[in-house]
Structure formats: structure tokens, C-alpha cells
Structure 1
């Protein structure tokens, strides 16, 4: 997420409010232009999904897209059945999944439920992704225009950078939480209102509501926003130019924060309880924090989904294509350093304090994003970094340090906006100076212009699911699984359940699935369910093409596993989709036939019934 800007006060540079005209029409024209441009650019980035929402999937992270589509389908089920928003046994049966400990985007799945019913989770996913990117750029534009700059063009440039920075384009590979970059400027807007005299109650209530919404959509991003706000405000308050102002504001700010805590605490009491103490919760994360830390070299490289990447200048220093969270390029970093120097030379004492605090936030979060041990252009050094001291602290133990670089995005966006605003409003020594600055901005930003997210085809929904044929073989609430079982690498089964939930009516449960749950070392989390013998049998066949003759041990384990899950039927579609690589469907069919006998052909799938009193495994 990102970082706060200068708080309005008597001693600070006054906030700039958008001028209005009689009638109000012309005053909204810049806002409308920016909004339309942001939506157009977001549609450009996501156009591969819009070409065929049901048939296309993000090429680099189909597993996460399946998870979010599942959540959108669950939103329909939630409203129709009065289910628990933060726990379900529809997935990972019989143990269930703690959705509060996952990225449950509760507000989105409820608000978008009508669209999900009408058009399906695939369309809702594409719509949220597009609106997230556009909304982030527009929210940052409004924030910068309100608090920091006089010119709409300056606010627009800063807003577009923040909304479409490499890190957020990277997270557009499937992440509906991290692309919600609008959460930061909206929350920060009201953080900066807390010092307003006599409005602590109103401001505290609104901020509390925004915190609750932000938590339900992007809890990790909200945490980063809070950290950045704290670093900024504490740093600025300690500087000589702002100390008296800070002392006067303390009572009002504390009162507002108290109200915020009460409101947010009341709204989030149950999800927070579920997150930290509910069933199937866990500590830490299922991901290796040292692996998901930023390489210092990545700050100087270009992202793969950019003009520079398109020209062959992209880098492979990220853990995966979804985590290119910095990748600003050397020219932009040089531009920011030069621009910050220019701004500081011409700043008033209050603005100088703001720039100092802003620089502090940028440096702190850059260092933290490097994780516990320094990585240098692909190699890991022996140098320990400050994040090593935070690894096991609450909240930090569940965060991925590389994503802290997204805070630096906000710092850079603010510096760019302030610089353009000064260039447009203050006289420069010569035309040549303007030309040099324009050239610098072009060299720094044009290579970062985003390219569309890569998409690929995915397996079509079989008529066995789409036409409800499954209901003839599985009872309402019974357990049905596709082959291979649903995991992050083999996500089809989770998608089929999502589409069924979106159609309302009867519903089946599935074993396994892609989620975060307990089962990792020392009580930490892991990705997905702990695999049993039978689901591992099919997973290795699908992922590696591994087929061996099965013996009595395999068959007895299958009996036990099917009884544990209470599976009533398993099926194999004609096509299956791998999240990271192609799957070996023939190997899955050979393994299933060896284990379960000859299948039935029903609704475009091969079906094996697992009926009480009848042992299909005895056929072999």
C-alpha cells in the first residue's frame, strides 16, 4: 500500500482544494477525464480476461484466480443460505477452512453477488480487477489534488503511477486484494482529518468504517498503511517545525483514534476472533518469508509486463511473476533522488518536514522489503537485515516482506506529483530546464508503461457441472471431487464448485482446495490441505505423469480416504487445467481406472461412483 502526505494544519502549507465554478460542471471536468482515462488503462491491462471471461485465465497465477472466483461464488451461497462469512466446510471437508485467516474479500463478494449470479464469478473477477486498478489511480489523484498539489495534471501523473506501478500490475496476476490500492489513499484521507478541531467524533466514526472495509478486502495492505502512517506522523511530529503543531493536535487525534478503535473493533470483533482463535486457524504463513523478500537489484530492474519488458529488458529477480513489487528501473530512482533534492531546496519549513518524513518512510520500507537477509542480483549474501528482528512478531510473521516495497510506490508517486506541480506553477531558470525535466520524466516513466496481463485458455466447464447432472449422483451437501483433487496447481475442482454456488440451489462439498490452513512445521500455516495417500496419488499423476501399478496397500488407503472424506463420486473432465504447467490427463485416467475400474461416461466426464455397500476398488 502506501504512505501519508502532509497533514493540513496552521503551520503547514495549506491543503489545496479543487476550485469550483458556478454550476459545478467545469470543476468536475478534470476529475471525469482522469476517471475515464484510468478506466481505459485498466481495461487495457485486463483486456485478455474480457475477451473471454469464461474461457481465459491469468497465465501466471490461475490458482489464485480460482480461489477468488470461489470466494465470489461463496458470496452468492452466503446470502442464499445464511452461511458463516468466515468459516466453511464446503471446501477441505470434513475439517473446513477458516476464511478469516485467508483473503476473504468479504465486502466484494457481498456487493458483487448480483453480478456473480447474472454473469458468473469469472465476470465478477474481471470487473473487480479492472475497477481496482482504475479506482486506485483515481483515488490517489483525488488525494494528491486535495492535500498536496495545485495542478490536476500533477495529481493525475502521481495517481496513475500509484495505480499502475509495476508492483500493482504484477499483482494483477490474480490478486483482488493487492490490486485494491485505493484502500490506502481513502484511509489516509481520513487519517489526515483527525486533527480537525471539534470533528473527532465524525472523523473517528468514518475512519473506523473505512478500517473495517479495508480489513475485509486487503488486511495486509491495511497493516502496511498503518505502519507507514505511524512512521510518517511520528517522524514529522518530532521535527522542530512541527512539534508545537503536533502537541496541539494530540488530544483531538487521540480522541478520534479512540472512536476509530471502538467502531472498527465492534465491526471486526467476530472476524478478528476467527482469524486469531477460530477453528482451522494457524500462525505465520504458508509461504517462506525469506524467499518472498525483495532483491536489492530488483529496484533497479524493469518489470516483465511493461514496455521495457516487452522490448526484452525485463528481469527475473522476483520470486514469481506476481511478486514484482519494486522494479522501478534505474532512471526513475535517479529522477526521484534529484527531484527530492530540488523540492527540499525550495521547501518552506513545514513542507521540508513533510519531505523529510516522506523520505524516512521510503527508506524504512525499502530496507524492510529486503527481508531478513540481503539478496543481491540473484544471490543471497550473509548480511542480516532489520526484518530478521521482526520475523516472529505478531502480524509481521504473516506478512511477506517483499510486498512492503508497495509502500515505496506511494512515496515515489507523491514525489512525482510534487515535482510536476512545482514545474508547472513555479518559474524555471530557462526553457532548457523544463526540457531536461520533461526528458527525465519520459526516460523514467515510458519504459514502465504497463502491458496487458498475460492470459491463457482454461478447461471449459463440463456439462456434468454446468447442467446440474451431478445432482443425480451426489446428494445435496454430499461430497464430490474432480480428478485430480483441487489444489493451487490443479484448481479446476475449486472452479466447478464456485460456478455451482453462483447458480444457487443444491450444492456439493469438496475435499482439499487452495487455501491457507494449519499443518505447517511448528504449528505454522501451509498451502492447502495435508495430502492423504489417495489425493497425492492423483496429484503426482497429473503434475508429473507418474503412473505405477497399484497394489493392495494403495487400494486400502483409498477405501480409508474415501470414507474419511465421505466421497460419493469422483469424475474426470475431458480437459484439465494446470495453474503453472500442463497436466497429464492420460496419467490421471490410467490411475483412476486401475484404482476404481471402468468409468461411466456422463455429461462430458468420466464418472466413478463411490456408493455405500459397493466397493468399486474390489473390481481389480
Structure 2
């Protein structure tokens, strides 16, 4: 009786690693390694079992001798280059002028992430606290753990940021995220899940370039940085197998810590997905799950100790540190998906559809698989339903798709008052801070894995199909193309970014603002603050900014930014032409108080600002005459603030 291969058994946690199993069984209660669908007349998945040959005599699949081995370097190189080419198709408009354009539709999000990369480089070279800073929202600061830390990517990209620019680092980051995520999935799929390199490659392509990741490439690199996710998931599966519990737990713990410092939100979604998969496993195969529980829990305990030690301080910072917040601004359902979105086409795809009313914005298109892909997934699920791993993937995919609907149902473009599953979780810690649409990122993983397993079974089952091999494979290829073609991404748009004064980019600011002191851009604008700050690699502090913060010192409910100081509001109104240039004694007193509050050394006005004359009049009245330096006007307020 043939022994199930490692790769067959690795499709789902089973006892097949140590117990001989009859792989010819096709009953529904068979092990997860069983070839499914053999009884279906004309079923592609069952073609190999329907040829009348004994399974032991059937032609060996080409990759069978490589089961459990690492893919060769040539196949890895090919996959990497292919994913790189696909990533460049998506991001090439940004590469045309990295410092002159914003890539995608969310310039504010890109500006914030560029500032984060600049700050990470500043913290790395200056050995500053990477979890909290007063260089934005001076002097109160920003809790970076309650925002988007990205400490590990920022550390790795420090040479690019320092020698190039934060804008260049961002573009490298957003591009390589797609490449590395696809390659990581390819390696894990090819080594542990499928026998066909083609299936592994297609799986990596779907999982890295699905609408969810392409849409989040519009400004959310912390979401597209999923290059450790495949290894995390596989390491969790390894915990169910007999072996070195302590070693496996330590490896899992190290991966969790690394992902923690890449993007905590993705780590949370991985945990949710694993919890749902474990629950489905327990319900679908309770005896096996219970037998494996002790060693799994032992490995998780080891991992937990390592994670607790390595993340204790940043976790304290996130949940109890200065400027921490609870919840997310606005109602949960603002960012929820609609059920119809799963059958619709994403904006940046070859069949690009109208997503208005189905999602909050084009960055959150985490579903939008299109009806053809859903039908293909349905066919794959039905054909392989006997596989335990397929049933688990279906459960996880469906549940997370339902969670992404928010606290009330929305069948079409209008939301109803009928409670939906997320209503049960909406007020739990961490869940209350979730952007609900992102639960569909888990659905994307379930869909991609399902299609990779289906394609692998098709290719394996048709290996010994004789004269039917070519027609069956052509039929499968046609189905795959029909299902996935509408998901093929198109290039992200680009838009010109406002220029940053040469006074900042050249480093001339250093003669007027001490390291760590505040430079006040005029008018005081959230995005000007962070764009100027990132151009200077966070060398000076800025007032206000773009970040999540508590509503007030006594109310930790999350909100965007802070209320502007009186002088900031005054200058903004003058710049907009909604206020005159007359300045009262009270205005002057508040202006002095505000620069002292900001710990400012200088206020800086671009000489080319359309309302420069009016702003100069107001600033001269508040702080005395300014002077022109390069392409800006500077008001030195150090005598007032030191």
C-alpha cells in the first residue's frame, strides 16, 4: 500500500506524515491527501483516476521525484523575474519620476508613508525611539504603533532613503512588496503544497497581484508587505506535525516578531485566518484535531514567550503609551464592502469597473474578484470537496467575506439595517480598530490557494490521461484564463506632487533650525508638514501632520490629526483668501504663544505661493520682518522660543 507523499499530506494537517494511507480511496471521509473527484464523469480533477489503471502503475507526475524538495534556482529566478515584470507594469508610472509624482490615487497616504520611511531612517541613524516621536505633531508627538510603524522595512530601506530619498524608498517598497509576496508564495507552494511548478507560479501570481494587493498599492505598503505571510502560515501547519516542538515554536515566534515590525495589521489578519482555519479543522476533523492539539499548543506557547519578550514595549506603547487611541475614526460600516463587490471588477483591472458605492475608496478594493473568478473557484471547490484542506479554505474564505460586510448587510450599493456577522465583534478590542474591508484579504488568500491546488490536481490527474491529456489541459487552461483574465491589473495612475522648496531639499534649513526643533511651513498644512519633513529625512519637527491620534487627553477615541492652533487657522484662512491681513494685538499674542508651543525656530513661506504677499504682511505683523533665503521667506523666532 503506497505511502502518502509529504507534499500530499501537507495540503492540510493530518496524521499521514507517520501513518501509511491508501491514496486510492475516493470516499468523502478519506484523508486530505486523497485525489478528489474520480467518480465524476468527465471531471478534469478525476481524469487520472478514471483511466482504468492501477494508481501504482499510472505514470509518475514529472515533479513527483522532487516532492518536498526546494524548487531549482532556475525556476525561482524565472518566477522572480516574471513577478518583477508584473510589478513594474503596475508601478511604472511612479518610476518615470519618483520624486516628481505620486503613484496611485492616495497622495495623502503616500506622503504619510514616505514620512514614516524618512523617520525610520532618522531613527536608525540617530538611534531614536522608533515607536514614538515628536518630530510630527510637535510638541505632543505621534504614537507610531497606533499608526503604521513599518520599523523593519524602514530599517532595511535606510540606505535608499539616506542616499536617495524617502520617495524613492517608498517606490522600491511598494514595487518589491508585490515581487517578494509572489515569490514567497511560489516557494511555499512549490515546496510544500503542490507538485506542479506551474500551479505554484500561478498561485503566486494570483496571491500577489489580486485586486486586493494592487488596490492597496495606492498608498498602503504596510498592507502589501505580505512576503512573510506564506512562511507564517506554513510554520503554523508545521506545529501540528511530530517533530521539534521547541525549534518549530521558536521559528514561528521569530516570524511573528518580524511581521510585527513590518505591519501589525497583516499579522492580526493572519491570526484571524489561522483561528478560523483551526476552528474549521476542529469541526471537520475533530478526532485528528484533538490528537494534534497538545503539540500544536506547545509550539504556540514557545512562540508566545518569544513574541511577548520581543514586543512587550511596543505593545505597551500601542495600547497604553502616550497618544494611544482606541477604535477607528467614523462608523465601522464606512469602510465595509458590499456583497455585490465580490462579483464586480476592480478599478485597476483590464475589465475595470465602476466601484462607486461598493467600497469606500479605490484603495480598499479587497474583494472585486469578478464573477468569472468566483465561478472558477466554485468549480474548484466542488471538484475537490473531498479534500479537507479545500473545505477548510472554503469555510475561511466565506466567513471572512461575510465579516468584510460590516455590522449590517449590504446586498447591492445600499446598506440595510439587518445585522451582519461583524456586529458580534465590532466592539471587541483590536476589532474595533479594523478597517472592515480588509477581512477580504483573508478571502483572497483562500481563493488563491484553492485555485493553486485545483490547477495542481488538474495537471497531475491528466498526466496519464493518454490522448485526452491535451484536450483536458486546454479546457483547464481556458477555464483558468476566463476566470483570471478580468483580474489582470493595469498600471496605477500617477499625479504631480507639489514641489518642496529647495531651501528644504538642499539642507539650507540647517542654518536656521536646530536638529529636532520645529520648522513651521506656511501656511500650516498637514501634508506640507510631512512632505517637507520627509524631504529632510525627518531632520526637523513639524506642527500638525497626517496621523491617527486620540480625540483629547481624556478621550482616547481615534481621530485624524489634531485641531489646528489659532495661528495655523489664521494663516490657512489668509492663504485661502477668506480672511484679510489685519492683525490684532490678540492675534500677535496668540502667534507668540503658538510658536512657543511648537518649540519653533523658524516659520518658512515659499516665495512662489499665490498668496505670498498677504501671508508676508500677516507674518511681519506677528513676528517682525522676515528675510528671503533661496526660494523661501524665513521668520526667525528663536528669540521668542529659546
TM-score range, shorter chain: 0.7 to 0.9
Alignment match, 1:147 = 192
Runs of 5+ consecutive residues of structure 1 not aligned to the other structure: 576-584, 615-620
Aligned positions of 1:169-188 closer than 5 A: 169-188=214-233
CA distance in 1 between partners of 2:227 and 2:178 (Å): 8
User: How far did 1:551 drift?
Assistant: 4.9
Alignment match, 1:400 = 435
User: Does structure 1 residue 605 correspond to structure 2 residue 620?
Assistant: no
User: How far did 1:318 drift?
Assistant: 2.0
Alignment match, 2:532 = 496
CA distance in 1 between partners of 2:532 and 2:564 (Å): 20
Q: Name the CA shift for 1:132/1:204 in 2 (closer, same or farther; >3 Å).
A: same
For structure 1, which segment, 106-115 or 259-268, has the greater mean C-alpha deviation from structure 2 after superposition?
A: 106-115
Aligned positions of 1:324-403 closer than 5 A: 324-344=365-385, 347=386, 351=387, 353-403=388-438
CA distance in 1 between partners of 2:11 and 2:336 (Å): 26
Q: Name the CA shift for 1:442/1:251 in 2 (closer, same or farther; >3 Å).
A: same
User: How far did 1:340 drift?
Assistant: 1.1
For structure 1, which segment, 429-438 or 288-297, has the greater mean C-alpha deviation from structure 2 after superposition?
A: 429-438
Q: Name the CA shift for 1:432/1:574 in 2 (closer, same or farther; >3 Å).
A: farther
CA distance in 2 between partners of 1:589 and 1:392 (Å): 51
Alignment match, 1:409 = 444
Alignment match, 1:515 = 547
Alignment match, 2:162 = 117
CA distance in 1 between partners of 2:295 and 2:437 (Å): 35
Give the conservation status (yes or no) of the 8 Å contact 2:341–2:355. no
Q: Name the CA shift for 1:204/1:50 in 2 (closer, same or farther; >3 Å).
A: same
Q: Name the CA shift for 1:198/1:293 in 2 (closer, same or farther; >3 Å).
A: same
For structure 1, which segment, 420-429 or 150-159, has the greater mean C-alpha deviation from structure 2 after superposition?
A: 420-429
User: Does structure 1 residue 243 correspond to structure 2 residue 286?
Assistant: yes
Q: Name the CA shift for 1:27/1:476 in 2 (closer, same or farther; >3 Å).
A: closer
User: Does structure 1 residue 13 correspond to structure 2 residue 56?
Assistant: no
Q: Find the residue that maps to 2:536 and give its secondary structure.
A: helix
Alignment match, 1:617 = none
User: How far did 1:116 drift?
Assistant: 1.7
For structure 1, which segment, 334-343 or 559-568, has the greater mean C-alpha deviation from structure 2 after superposition?
A: 559-568
Alignment match, 1:317 = 358
Q: Please, which of 287, 312, 327 is the counterpart of residue 284 of structure 1?
A: 327
Q: Show CA shifts across 1:459-504 (max 9, x none).
A: 33322112222223223332111123342xxx232122223237xx
TM-score (norm 2): 0.85
User: How far did 1:18 drift?
Assistant: 6.9
User: How far did 1:315 drift?
Assistant: 5.2
User: How far did 1:28 drift?
Assistant: 2.8
Alignment match, 1:594 = 618
Q: Find the residue that maps to 1:519 and give its secondary structure.
A: strand
Alignment match, 2:6 = none
Give the conservation status (yes or no) of the 8 Å contact 2:574–2:580. no
User: Does structure 1 residue 270 correspond to structure 2 residue 318?
Assistant: no
Give the conservation status (yes or no) of the 8 Å contact 2:71–2:190. no
CA distance in 2 between partners of 1:494 and 1:98 (Å): 15
Alignment match, 2:145 = 100
Q: Name the CA shift for 1:387/1:545 in 2 (closer, same or farther; >3 Å).
A: farther
CA distance in 1 between partners of 2:260 and 2:548 (Å): 17
User: How far did 1:515 drift?
Assistant: 1.4
Give the conservation status (yes or no) of the 8 Å contact 1:38–1:134. yes
User: Does structure 1 residue 533 correspond to structure 2 residue 576?
Assistant: no
User: How far did 1:94 drift?
Assistant: 1.2
Alignment match, 2:498 = 459
Q: Please, which of 571, 574, 597 is the counterpart of residue 564 of structure 1?
A: 597
Give the conservation status (yes or no) of the 8 Å contact 1:204–1:258. yes
Aligned positions of 1:132-171 closer than 5 A: 132-171=177-216
Give the conservation status (yes or no) of the 8 Å contact 2:104–2:217. no
Give the conservation status (yes or no) of the 8 Å contact 2:70–2:187. no
Q: Show CA shifts across 1:430-487 (max 9, x none).
A: 8665544433322221121111221112133322112222223223332111123342
CA distance in 1 between partners of 2:227 and 2:71 (Å): 25
User: Does structure 1 residue 201 correspond to structure 2 residue 246?
Assistant: yes
Q: Please, which of 462, 468, 483 is the counterpart of residue 444 of structure 1?
A: 483
Q: Find the residue that maps to 1:291 and give its secondary structure.
A: helix
Q: Find the residue that maps to 1:46 and give its secondary structure.
A: helix
Give the conservation status (yes or no) of the 8 Å contact 1:49–1:58. yes
Q: Show CA shifts across 1:526-572 (max 9, x none).
A: 11223222223444566x66444555254443333222213232122
CA distance in 2 between partners of 1:17 and 1:101 (Å): 50
TM-score (norm 1): 0.88
For structure 1, which segment, 424-433 or 264-273, has the greater mean C-alpha deviation from structure 2 after superposition?
A: 424-433
CA distance in 1 between partners of 2:357 and 2:611 (Å): 32
User: How far did 1:259 drift?
Assistant: 0.4
Give the conservation status (yes or no) of the 8 Å contact 2:239–2:299. yes
User: How far did 1:275 drift?
Assistant: 0.8
User: How far did 1:8 drift?
Assistant: 5.2
Q: Name the CA shift for 1:26/1:549 in 2 (closer, same or farther; >3 Å).
A: closer
For structure 1, which segment, 314-323 or 292-301, has the greater mean C-alpha deviation from structure 2 after superposition?
A: 314-323
CA distance in 2 between partners of 1:284 and 1:91 (Å): 21
Give the conservation status (yes or no) of the 8 Å contact 1:572–1:589. no
For structure 1, which segment, 199-208 or 47-56, has the greater mean C-alpha deviation from structure 2 after superposition?
A: 47-56
Give the conservation status (yes or no) of the 8 Å contact 2:327–2:433. yes
Q: Show CA shifts across 1:391-429 (max 9, x none).
A: 110110111111101111011101211221122121377
Alignment match, 2:54 = none
RMSD: 2.7
User: How far did 1:253 drift?
Assistant: 0.8
Q: Name the CA shift for 1:538/1:330 in 2 (closer, same or farther; >3 Å).
A: farther
Give the conservation status (yes or no) of the 8 Å contact 1:302–1:315. no
Q: Show CA shifts across 1:19-53 (max 9, x none).
A: 678xx998332222111101111122111221121
CA distance in 2 between partners of 1:566 and 1:131 (Å): 39
CA distance in 1 between partners of 2:390 and 2:511 (Å): 66
Q: Find the residue that maps to 1:484 and give its secondary structure.
A: coil
User: How far did 1:190 drift?
Assistant: 0.6
CA distance in 2 between partners of 1:486 and 1:206 (Å): 45
Q: Show CA shifts across 1:225-277 (max 9, x none).
A: 111111112211332xx333323222211110010000111100111111111
Alignment match, 1:306 = 349
Q: Find the residue that maps to 1:327 and give its secondary structure.
A: coil
Q: Show CA shifts across 1:47-93 (max 9, x none).
A: 12211211121241112222222122222221232211111111111
